[in-house]
Structure 1
Amino acid sequence: MAISLVDLVTRLLDDDGPLPIVQDGDPVLRRRAVPFDGQLDDGLLARLIAAMRDTMRAAPGVGLAAPQIGVPLRIAVIEDSARVSDEVRSARDRRAVPLRVLVNPTYSPAGDATVGFFEGCLSVSGWQAVVARHAAVHLTALDESGRAVDEVVEGWAARIVQHETDHLDGILYLDRAETRSLSSNAAIVDRWSQPTPHEAAAALGFPLPDRP
């Protein structure tokens, strides 16, 4: 008998502390998550969101989708302190993003510009690859209180929104990556820590978007 979402979340939250993060190869990461429609009461939803926040921060990461902790609901949290150099901040258009909860998010391109940067994933430990993403997206969602979110998100924050929303559709960043760019975290530190991936593209032989 399939376990209900309420029982699944309740059991998951029995343990204190950060939750285990599901790794690539688990089918939950490859299924389209179910829209949230009140399956959890307000108290259980608040506990789930708090656990997702704590797990994201402990990892550490800048976003976490519910399937990454084994819960097939269309819920994600994002937060970015953007503690990077001024050079990186400028090259990647990366600014601090306060904690946000996105319920049933969707996105669409806001303009034609695309940008490619290395990105990683808490569910694909130890690796990064260059992914071309929309430079700006139109985000629609609800917040944790059910209020509508309808806005244009730009820069690195738009990359986070796309990455986490993709998780809810069973898409991993590897599905969109330039496979020749796939690099271990050690290689990123030793070779490809530049603000942009242009040196990596030239050395490893992969294209970058031509519409910055």
Structure 2
Amino acid sequence: MSQEQHHVVPPRLLEGAPPTPFTAARIRETVLELLENPSPPRIVQAGHPVLRQRAAPYDGQLSNEELGLLISLMRDVMHKAPGVGLAAPQLGIPLQLAVLEDEYDVDPDIAAVRDREPLEFFAVLNPSYTALDDSVSAFYEGCLSVDGLQAVVQRHRRIQLDYDQPSGSRVSAEYSGWQARIVQHETDHLRGILYLDKAELRSLSANAEYAEHWAEPGIEKAKHGLGFLLP
């Protein structure tokens, strides 16, 4: 920077993500291309425009069979990644659809600190969540669309999720702990939000550095070592 540059002007942020420009026909076309392709779909990465758009509400753009096939494909991709959730925009589809499942074996000490309980597979359409109280928790998170990085995110500890099931019925359910974290992470994807938007950036760590220095149940060591302030 030259000596004449005295002021730093922060970038202007958009007020909310822009809506997807995809029409219903283009969404269906994109889905059918994925379903007909014999190769596994690519999980798109940060910088892909679909990840920064508000996905279209699901209102029948697909037939019941097509929706079922898409959900099955998303579940397979999530398992192979591996991950505990996958949103349709992560496959380049700007549709309010996500799949969630957490059946991995986790060290009991880690599970206790993180309040992590198994989460059976389910798919959500048009989800939204609200906090049930003021309690929050902060832990490291990663994302299949931000490959190779992790960061600490503070999230609501207890939430209510409202969503449509693939059958068409509207459901409300309460989640807490790590389950609530997964729900918030995946629902945020459908609003054009990545976990980095809510992260404590001083905690940002490459996977290898996280594994070597900060891989423990909580974040106390990382807070002191990286110098960030969170509860």
Superposition TM-score tier, normalisation by shorter sequence: over 0.9
C-alpha separation between the residues in 1 aligned to 2:206 and 2:142? 10
Give 1:47's aligned residue.
69
Q: Deviations over 1:29-50 (max 9, x none)?
A: 0000000000101011111111
- The Cα of 1:20 is off from its aligned counterpart by 0.6
Rounded Cα–Cα distance in structure 1 between residues aligned with 2:67 and 2:38: 16
Matched AA of 2:198: R
1:154 and 2:208 correspond: no
Quick one: which amino acid aligns to residue 53 of structure 1?
Answer: R
* Superposed displacement of residue 17, structure 1: 5.4
Aligned AA (1:66): A
- Superposed displacement of residue 18, structure 1: 3.4
Select the residue among 107, 114, 117 that pairs with 2:129.
Answer: 107
Q: Which residue of 1 aligns with 2:96?
A: 74
Q: Are 2:79 and 1:57 equivalent residues in the alignment?
A: yes
Q: Distance in 2 between matches of 1:99 and 1:16?
A: 24
Q: Tell me the residue number matched to 2:203.
A: 181
Which residue matches 1:38? Answer: 60
The answer for the alignment partner of 1:26 in structure 2 is 48
Q: Which residue of 1 aligns with 2:144?
A: 122
SS in 2 for 1:94: coil
Number of residue pairs matched?
209
* Equivalent-residue separation in structure 2 for 1:123 and 1:6 (angstroms): 22
> Structure 1 CA distance, aligned partners of 2:139 and 2:153?
6
1:171 and 2:193 correspond: yes
Instruction: Between 183-192 and 66-75, report the one with greater CA deviation.
Output: 183-192
Aligned-residue RMSD, C-alpha: 1.3
Match of 1:136 in 2: 158
> Runs of 5+ in structure 2 lacking a partner?
1-21
Identity across the alignment (%): 50
Q: Which runs of 4+ in 1 moved over 4 A?
A: none
* TM-score normalized by the length of structure 1: 0.96
Please, which runs of 5 or more residues in structure 1 have no aligned partner? Answer: none
Classify the secondary structure of the residue corresponding to 1:4.
helix
